[in-house]
């Protein structure tokens, strides 16, 4: 049985020229860099380091693109972790998407809303805009929980 | 001893029993009544292929008794017959059959026209199957998505052989609608199934039992329905190995209880230890006659095995004798069970649903009547890309001139003849006219007979084919098929729980769930007009637009003069499409660092983002756009006391000079960082406080607490609808139509026509040369109006009311409505039902706008 749990995360969104993002050196603090579009990147990290992550990204990207936007988007996302050996199977109750490989990002429809999926050491992490957080939480528990039947 | 109740009668259950086995052992022979004639119907196929044994299980109709495992405490009801299936008063219909030939509905009740609705009601009561439990909670079946290299449908010898062979070569899924081997009675076949299942599992195949494939679709993909899930499978290859059943025999009395198809009868004996009768006649033209006879003898029946044509079965409550034309002549035999193995009918419905080369068959479904060794070889070959081509079943039983072709829909050979004589001369239109093949079994038994009938009548090749195979193969529940798709996905603001706790009625507003009212709409309106109020406007679309070309972009796409907006100021904005029609509206706030904060309507945010990104690309501009809709909450603080309220919670300068209308500033309210935008939608001093969503509750609570001395009330959409109407502001979509340009809406002032270029400019210039044929106007009424009501001039309808309300602030009933020009001029006095509507200038309330600038 997978465990379904909301995971508080910090999210930084960086919008910049694609070549600048290509050359951006990832910040420290365990931040995970997700290239969600050619001109947009999301950095995901623990909440308590997110200010440092934002600052580092800002300092590095503005050298490459002085117009780049770097904003804290932490409140805009809900992250649901599906953990345990059955995490991939749990996702199959929510989405037709193939679970990502270790460092990949998969974007698409999860429980009928737009989502981003990344692999974590203990399973999968599904991010959706916060206004769909309750929906995803409910669907994850009810549908992925259906594995118990 | 575990037991179930059938129509209230207690029946004991033995290990491994299906409902049918338990009921048959207890002496039940009539399982249902036929659709039209209410003839008795007993167990026939025993393999889930026909619809004779559909029963209601624990209030859920349409369960196949022969496939559903019996459980202790189960409540089973037969679905048809009045007052009961055993004693059915409507069986009189059988005597009247000659007066109800096929197609009689279309003729008898055609005239007079009023008769059909009455007749339909009676017919519907007298026919049909189970009753839907309307009071039962809807079941939500989760959907699971699976991708595999090979999907094998059918867990018999051919299917398992295919899986065992393919298993080492990628992911393989095997789906069987029963447990493996459940329909196999021959010991050698059971042994083969067990061996191949072990081999398939060892090779890495996953086997899903009790999962019925209900359809094959493009891709190929397939839907599998399990007890608690719908599995959507995308596969590179699909191997259909669903086997075959014995051909349906058509002869007088073929639908009597006691007439069985061979494998189902054998299963009843071999699997459940129940003999189908004391004296059984087996008529077998396939190679399985001896095997069937042995299975029945083992169960205790006295068996006569014959080959030949069944000419007639006789009986009343069940079969008691049979006439068979054998090679030695006609024989009449007394019996209480007639077991048929007249030929093979491959279960090929799934296979016929697609022509994709990735979908192939294996075993009985393509080589009907093949041996175990042949089935295994066929399965292995299919998985290696060397599938057998389907071949027709041989032999196929001759249909006698009488008897039921379609037992689901009570269509007899006479009916087919009758329909043919009326001119319905192809298998497809025979199907539509007679409804043969359209019952719960979906033509599993009768579709070949229909095609054969057309062939025998001399139909052209195009007119004698099998009827089209479509999903679902088995009868799923609608709830199973929806798989959650029926659910309305809603967006919630961070304040959702606060609204619910405050007793708000939550309404679906586009994609959002929003408070309609907190209970007293008038009090909410008064709070805005006389005191202070708050509204959750987190649903607004919110965007940050930055980059050295940000101003160029906004100037190029929007019709407002972006250059005229000084940092710290904001402007109302329209978004037009290339045709000059209004797509959306919002606010544009110029930030100090050369970037912009843009809001759109709640429902238009997604489209606005896509539209802007498209223009950034098309114009090749250096602009960065971030959608902040999810990140930022927004609360509108409004009313004559709004500025005072904010002043109690903020140390920032909130004076009219520092934060004028329409302007904006970064301030801190109750410790929460906000961008405050002075807005005017409801016509009072108003500040939208855009803030991090995670702090919405904190800010909301602080505002309500600090506003208590002024009698603060939150207001919802119902109040907003009146408030904005009093100001004459339009609701896009409610008050507008897809082809509205700004002038029609009275929003020409929002278009900077002097600008060289903006999206829609050329179209507006062309339309400017044309007279305005329709426009949105303000209306005052002399009585309560109704939204949507037509506006009439004399007897001609010249418009309609799009919004209306009885407004204290506006001094009576007011509204907005569409008005069409009549003879080049817009009428000013109209009728709207019983009330008079007079065109009136807007705003109805505070036309100078003094209050919102206070």
Q: Which of A16, A75, A92 sits opposite B624 (nearest CB)?
A: A16
Kindly list the strands in the beta sheet with A32-37, ordered across the sheet, starting from the edge strand earlier in the chain.
A32-37, A40-45, A10-15, A69-72
Task: For residues B743 and B841, state if they share a domain.
Answer: yes
| DSSP summary character for residue B394 | S
User: CA torsion, points B842, B846, B851, B852, in degrees to nearest 10?
Assistant: -10
Residue B130 lies inside a defined structural domain of this protein = no
Our CA dihedral for B41, B46, B48, B49, rounded to 10 degrees, sits at -70
Q: Is B831 exposed, middle or buried (0-12, 13-18, 19+ CB in 10 A)?
A: middle
Contact of A41 with A33, CB cutoff 8 Å: yes
Q: Say how far apart CA B445 and CA B248 lie, in whole Å.
A: 6
**Smallest Cβ distance to A76: which of B147, B624, B631?**
B631
- A75 and B692: CB-CB below 8 Å? yes
Count of CA atoms in the C-beta half-sphere (13 A) of A98: 7
CA distance to partner chain A, nearest, from residue B69 (Å):
17
Least Cα distance to B842 among B778, B748, B747 occurs for B778
Q: Which of B144, B228, B596 to mutate to test the interface with A (most CBs of A within 10 A)?
A: B144
Q: Are residues B807 and B750 in the same domain?
A: yes
Which of B626, B673, B692 has the highest number of chain A CBs within 10 A, making it the mutation to test binding with A?
B626
Contacts of A109 in chain B (CB under 8 A): none
SS3 category, B620: coil
Both tokens of residue B152? 């094998």
Tell whether B145 is within 8 A of chain A (Cβ).
Answer: yes
Domain with B445 in it = 404-473
Which chain A residues contact residue B544 at CB under 8 A? 69, 71
Give residues 219 to 248 of B whose Cβ lies within 8 Å of A.
228-229, 232, 234
- On whether both B8 and B43 belong to a single domain, the answer is yes
What is the Cα Rg of chain B in Å? Answer: 37
Residue B512 lies in a domain: yes
Q: B746 and B849: one domain?
A: yes
What number of other Cβ atoms are within 10 A of residue B328's Cβ?
9
- The two tokens of residue B548 are 């050295």
Give A139's contacts in chain B (Cβ within 8 Å): 484
What is the Cα–Cα distance from B420 to B412, expressed in whole angstroms?
12
Contact predicate B371/B192, CB 8 Å: no
Q: What's the gap in Å between the CA of B19 and the closest CA on chain A?
A: 23
Tell me which chain A residues have a C-beta less than 8 angstroms from the C-beta of B146: 92
Tokens of B706: 């600090």
- In this prediction, residue B276 carries a pLDDT of 96
Chain A residue numbers with beta carbons less than 8 Å from the beta carbon of B223 are none
> Do B500 and B647 reside in the same domain of the chain?
yes
The predicted pLDDT at position A145 comes to 65
- Give me Rg for the CA atoms of chain A: 16
Give phi and psi for B793, each to the nearest 5.
-115, 115
B758 DSSP assignment: -
Selection from B696, B535, B601, B494 nearest residue A131 by Cα? B494
Question: Can you read off the two tokens belonging to residue B601?
Answer: 């309507």
Q: Which of residues 56-85 of A touch B (CB under 8 A)?
A: 67-69, 71-77
Could you tell me which of B239, B151, B161, B150 has the C-alpha nearest to residue B194? B161
pLDDT above 50 (res A149): no
Find the CB nearest B228 among A16, A135, A146: A146
- Integer angstrom CA distances of residue B632 from A141, B599, B609, B806: 27, 11, 16, 35
Closest Cβ opposite residue B630 in set A39, A76, A93: A76
β-strand partners of B450: none
Could you give the angle at the alpha carbon of B60 between the alpha carbons of B55 and B62, nearest 5°? 40
* Contacts with A19 from chain B: Cβ below 8 Å: none
The minimum CA-CA distance between B145 and chain A, rounded to whole Å, is 5
Residue indicated by tokens 């459980």:
B71
Q: What is the pLDDT of residue B120?
A: 86
Residues A83/A3, Cβ–Cβ less than 8 Å: yes
- DSSP secondary structure, B414-465, as one string: HHHHHHHHTT--SHHHHHHHH-TT-STTTTTTTHHHHHHHHHHTT--GGGSS
CB contact under 8 A, B694 and A74: yes
Distance of CA A11 to the CA centre of its chain: 8
Of the candidates B473, B471, B484, B444, the residue with the CA atom closest to the CA atom of residue B212: B473
* Separation CA B175–CA B156 (nearest Å): 10
- The chain B residue lying nearest A144, using CA atoms, is B142
Tell me whether A43 touches chain B (CB under 8 Å).
no
Q: Are residues B635 and B622 in the same domain?
A: no
Chain A residues touching B484 at Cβ < 8 A = 111-112, 139, 143
**Do the Cβ atoms of A96 and B232 come within 8 Å?**
yes
Residues of A in contact with B617 (CB under 8 A): none
Which residue from A74, A83, A2, A80 is spatially nearest to A44, judged by alpha carbons? A74
Is B460 inside any structural domain? yes
CATH architecture of A10-75: 2-Layer Sandwich (3.30)
pLDDT at B136: 75
Residue B474: predicted pLDDT: 84
CB pairs under 8 A between A and B: 103
The verdict on B784 and B738 lying in the same domain is: yes
Angle at CA of residue B51, ends B45 and B52, nearest 5°: 70
> Reduced to 3 states, what is the DSSP secondary structure of residue A111?
coil
Q: Touching check for A93 and chain B: CB below 8 Å?
A: yes
pTM for this predicted structure: 0.82
Which neighbouring-strand residues pair with B339?
B260, B282
Task: Output the CA torsion sign for A145, A149, B6, B9.
Answer: negative
Task: Provide the token pair at B70.
Answer: 């019996």
Measured between beta carbons, the chain B residues lying within 8 angstroms of A92 are 144-146
A106 touches chain B (CB under 8 A): no
What residues contact B280, with CB distance under 8 A and at least 6 apart? B265, B296, B301, B302, B303, B304, B335, B336, B337, B338, B339
The token pair at B657 is 């000079």
The domain that holds B840 is classified in CATH as: 2.40.30.110
CA proximity to B85, closest of B31, B9, B21: B31
**Does B489 contact A135 at a Cβ distance shorter than 8 Å?**
yes
B758 and B774 together in one domain: yes
C-beta atoms of A139 and B484 within 8 A: yes
Residues of A whose CB is below 8 A from B695: 75
Angle, CA A43 vertex, CA A38 and CA A48 arms, to 5°:
165
**B527 and B666 together in one domain:** yes
Q: Which residues, including other chains, have CB under 8 Å from residue B88's CB and lie 6 or more apart? A: B33, B38, B80, B81, B82
Is B302 strand, coil or helix? Answer: strand
Exposed, middle or buried by CB within 10 Å (0-12, 13-18, 19+), for A32? middle
The residues near B275 (Cβ < 8 Å, ≥ 6 apart) are: B268, B269, B296, B299, B300, B301
Distance of CA B572 to the CA centre of its chain: 40
Residue B429 region by backbone torsions, left for phi larger than 0, else alpha for psi between -120 and 50, else beta: alpha
Distance between A30 CA and the closest CA of chain B, angstroms: 22
Q: At what angle do helices B427-434 and B413-421 cross, to 10 degrees?
A: 110
Half-sphere exposure of A9 toward its Cβ, with a 13 Å CA cutoff? 26
Residue B62 located in a structural domain: yes
Give the CATH number of the domain where residue B712 resides: 3.30.1360.120
Q: Do A130 and B630 touch (CB under 8 A)?
A: yes
**What is the CATH number for B151?**
3.50.50.60
Name beta bridge partners: B284: B341
Indicate whether B612 and B644 sit together in one domain.
no
At residue B432, φ and ψ (nearest 5 deg) are -70, -35
The answer to whether B41 and B257 are in contact (CB under 8 A) is yes
H/E element, B725: helix B717-726
For chain B (854 residues), the mean pLDDT of every run of 10, in chain order, is 96 96 97 93 95 94 94 96 91 84 81 86 82 78 90 97 84 93 86 96 94 95 92 96 95 97 94 95 94 93 96 96 96 97 94 94 95 96 94 80 94 94 94 93 92 94 92 85 73 98 96 96 97 98 96 97 95 96 96 92 95 96 97 98 97 94 96 97 96 98 98 98 96 92 94 96 93 94 94 95 96 96 95 96 94 87
Q: For B626, which DSSP code?
A: E
Q: Is the pLDDT of residue A148 over 50?
A: no
Q: B50: which DSSP letter?
A: S
Residue of A nearest to B606 (CA): A114
Class of domain A76-148 (CATH, top level): alpha beta
Q: Do residue B583 and residue B637 come from a single domain? A: no
Nearest to A75 among B484, B492, B693 (CB): B693
Closest CA to B70 of B117, B151, B1: B1
Please provide the average confidence, as pLDDT, over all residues in chain A. 93
Q: How many domains does chain B fold into?
A: 7
Same-domain status, B68 and B173: no
Question: Rounded to an integer, what distance in angstroms lies between the CA atom of residue B224 and that of residue B216?
Answer: 9
CA dihedral B820, B824, B826, B831 (to 10 degrees): -60
- State whether residue A130 sits within 8 Å of chain B by CB: yes
| pLDDT exceeds 50 at position A84 | yes
């Amino acid at each position: 049985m997978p465990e379904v749990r909301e995971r508080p995360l910090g999210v930084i969104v960086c919008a910049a020229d694609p070549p600048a993002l290509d050359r951006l050196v990832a910040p420290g603090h365990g931040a995970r860099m997700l290239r969600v579009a050619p001109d947009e990147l999301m950095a995901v990290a623990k909440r308590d380091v997110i200010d440092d992550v934002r600052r580092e990204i800002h300092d590095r990207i503005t050298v490459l693109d002085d117009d780049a936007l770097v904003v804290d988007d932490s409140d805009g996302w809900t992250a649901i972790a599906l953990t345990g050996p059955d995490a991939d199977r749990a996702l199959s109750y929510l989405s037709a998407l193939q679970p990502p490989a270790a460092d990949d990002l998969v974007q698409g429809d999860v429980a009928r809303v737009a989502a981003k999926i990344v692999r974590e050491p203990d399973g999968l992490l599904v991010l959706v805009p916060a206004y769909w957080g309750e929906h995803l939480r409910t669907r994850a528990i009810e549908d992925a929980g259906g594995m118990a039947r | 001893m575990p037991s179930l109740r059938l129509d209230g009668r207690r029946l004991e259950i033995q290990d491994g029993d299906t409902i049918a086995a338990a009921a048959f052992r207890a002496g039940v022979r009539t399982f249902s009544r036929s659709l039209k004639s209410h003839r008795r119907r007993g167990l026939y196929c025993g393999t889930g292929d026909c619809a004779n044994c559909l029963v209601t299980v624990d209030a859920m109709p349409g369960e196949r008794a022969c496939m559903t495992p019996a459980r202790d405490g189960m409540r089973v009801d037969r679905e048809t017959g009045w007052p009961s299936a055993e004693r059915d008063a409507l069986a009189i219909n059988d005597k009247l059959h000659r007066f109800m030939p096929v197609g009689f509905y279309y003729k008898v009740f055609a005239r007079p026209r009023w008769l059909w609705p009455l007749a339909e009601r009676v017919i519907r009561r007298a026919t049909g199957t189970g009753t839907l439990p309307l009071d039962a909670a809807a079941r939500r079946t989760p959907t699971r998505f699976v991708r595999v290299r090979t999907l094998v449908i059918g867990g018999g010898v051919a299917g398992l052989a295919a899986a065992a062979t393919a298993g080492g070569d990628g992911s393989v899924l095997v789906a069987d609608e029963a447990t493996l081997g459940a329909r196999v009675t021959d010991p050698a076949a059971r042994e083969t199934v067990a061996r191949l299942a072990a081999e398939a599992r060892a090779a890495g195949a996953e086997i899903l039992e009790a999962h019925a494939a209900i359809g094959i679709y493009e891709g190929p993909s397939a839907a599998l329905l399990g007890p608690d899930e719908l599995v959507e499978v995308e596969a590179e290859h699909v191997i259909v190995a669903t086997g075959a059943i014995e051909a349906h025999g058509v002869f007088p009395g073929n639908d009597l209880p006691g007439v069985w198809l061979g494998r189902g009868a054998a299963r009843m004996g071999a699997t459940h230890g129940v003999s189908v009768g004391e004296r059984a006649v087996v008529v077998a033209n396939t190679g399985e006659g001896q095997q069937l006879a042995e299975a029945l003898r083992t169960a205790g029946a006295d068996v006569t095995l014959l080959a030949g044509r069944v000419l007639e079965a006789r009986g009343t409550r069940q079969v008691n004798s049979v006439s068979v034309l054998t090679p030695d002549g006609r024989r009449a035999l007394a019996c209480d069970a007639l077991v048929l193995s007249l030929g093979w009918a491959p279960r090929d419905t799934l296979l016929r649903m697609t022509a994709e080369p990735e979908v192939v068959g294996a075993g009985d479904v393509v080589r009907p009547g093949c041996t175990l060794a042949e089935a295994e070889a066929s399965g292995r070959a299919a998985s290696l890309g060397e599938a057998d081509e389907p071949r027709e079943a041989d032999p196929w039983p001759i249909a006698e001139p009488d008897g039921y072709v379609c037992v689901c829909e009570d269509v007899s050979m006479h009916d087919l003849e009758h329909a043919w004589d009326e001119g319905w001369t192809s298998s497809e239109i025979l199907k539509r006219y007679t409804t043969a093949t359209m019952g719960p079994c979906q033509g599993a038994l009768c579709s070949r007979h229909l095609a054969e009938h057309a062939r025998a009548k001399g139909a052209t090749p195009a007119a004698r084919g099998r009827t089209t195979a479509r999903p679902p193969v088995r009868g799923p529940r609608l709830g199973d098929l929806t798989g959650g798709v029926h659910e309305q996905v809603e967006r919630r603001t961070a304040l959702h729980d606060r609204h619910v706790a405050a007793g708000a009625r939550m309404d679906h507003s586009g994609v959002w769930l929003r408070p309609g009212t907190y209970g007293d709409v008038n009090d909410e309106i008064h709070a805005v007009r006389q005191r202070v109020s708050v509204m959750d406007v987190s649903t607004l679309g919110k965007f940050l637009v930055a980059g050295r070309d940000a101003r160029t972009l906004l100037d190029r796409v929007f019709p407002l003069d972006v250059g005229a907006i000084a940092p710290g100021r904001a402007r109302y904005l329209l978004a037009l499409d290339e045709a000059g029609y209004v797509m959306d509206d919002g606010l544009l706030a110029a930030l100090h660092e050369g970037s912009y904060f843009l809001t759109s309507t709640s429902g238009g945010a997604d489209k606005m983002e896509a539209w802007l990104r498209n223009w950034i690309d098309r114009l090749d501009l250096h602009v960065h756009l971030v959608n902040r809709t999810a990140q930022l909450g927004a609360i509108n603080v409004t009313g004559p006391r709004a500025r005072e309220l904010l002043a109690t919670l903020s140390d920032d300068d909130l004076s009219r000079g520092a934060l004028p209308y329409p302007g904006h500033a970064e301030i801190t309210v109750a410790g929460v960082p906000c961008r405050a935008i002075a807005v005017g939608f409801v016509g009072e001093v108003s500040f939208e406080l855009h803030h991090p969503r995670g702090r919405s509750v904190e800010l909301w609570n602080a505002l309500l607490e600090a506003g208590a001395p002024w009698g603060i009330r939150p207001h919802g959409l119902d109040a907003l609808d009146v408030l904005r109407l009093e100001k004459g502001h339009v609701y896009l979509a409610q008050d507008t139509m897809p082809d509205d340009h700004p002038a029609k809406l009275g929003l020409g002032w929002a278009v900077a026509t002097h600008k060289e270029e903006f999206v829609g400019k050329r179209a507006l210039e062309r339309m400017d040369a044309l007279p305005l044929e329709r426009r949105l106007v303000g209306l005052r009424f002399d009585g309560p109006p109704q939204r949507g009501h037509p506006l009439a001039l004399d007897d001609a309808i010249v418009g309609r009311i799009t919004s209306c309300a009885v407004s204290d602030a506006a001094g009576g009933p007011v509204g907005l409505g569409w008005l069409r020009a009549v003879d080049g001029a817009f009428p000013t006095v109209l009728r709207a039902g019983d009330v008079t509507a007079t065109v009136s200038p807007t705003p109805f309330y505070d036309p100078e706008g003094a209050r919102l600038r206070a």
